Amino acid sequence: MNETLKIVAERFSCRDFKDTPVTDEQMQAILKAALAAPSGGDSQPWQIVVVGDKALIEEYDADGMGMLAAAEDKMMYDRMMSRGGKLLYNAPCLVLILSDGLPRAAMDCGILSQTMAIAAGSIGLNSCIVGLAGLPLVGPNGEDYKKRMKFKDGFEFAIGILLGTANTSSKPHDIDMGKITYV
């Protein structure tokens, strides 16, 4: 198996990160790979916000967990509590991928996030692609976060990705070949 296929096969969603920061060199390698991701019509409908400020990540995390705790339906809150009580799993780096909102942008931003996850794996880092990373942005402090995280006008949260070094490892999800139909 070649190295890329091995990285894809062994990748897991890390939900327990060490405090070890992502270095500038590592982040630049991941970002260069991300910006090479394909997009429909080469539209590149994204902006990338890299948050490495641990205090801001912790504040953002606590805000999101507070929103889950206050929700009427406690299913997601209970799920996050069973995974350590952190929305962002103590990740030292949060990347917010923002979309310009065009119809195909969601798919393009998804491709970008997967490219980042594979790039992270290729340099020995772990990742978790997280939709809930957008939760604090729709809460009472959302506009403040957008300002502090320097969102560009016309861009909204599409998907998040956590980057860092795993504190504990996990196995990749099971492969279900039944999901494939040959014609």
State residue 122 phi and psi, 5-degree precision. Answer: -70, -20
Nearest to 77 by CA among 127, 125, 135: 135
182 assigned to some structural domain: no
For 62-121, what is each residue's pLDDT tens digit? 999 999 999 999 999 999 999 999 999 999 999 999 999 998 999 999 999 999 999 999
Q: Give the Cα separation of 156 and 100 in Å (integer).
A: 7
For 127-178, what is each residue's pLDDT tens digit? 999 999 999 999 999 999 999 999 999 999 999 999 999 998 888 889 999 9
10 assigned to some structural domain: yes
Contact residues for 37 (Cβ-Cβ < 8 A; gap 6+): 108, 111, 112, 115
92 assigned to some structural domain: yes
The range of the structural domain enclosing residue 83 comes to 3-165
173 assigned to some structural domain: no
43 assigned to some structural domain: yes
64 assigned to some structural domain: yes
38 assigned to some structural domain: yes
**Any idea what the CATH number is for the domain that residue 11 is in?**
3.40.109.10
28 assigned to some structural domain: yes
Whole-model pTM? 0.95
What domain count does the chain have? 1
Q: What are the angstrom distances between the C-alpha of 153 and each of 40, 99, 143, 150?
A: 21, 11, 12, 9
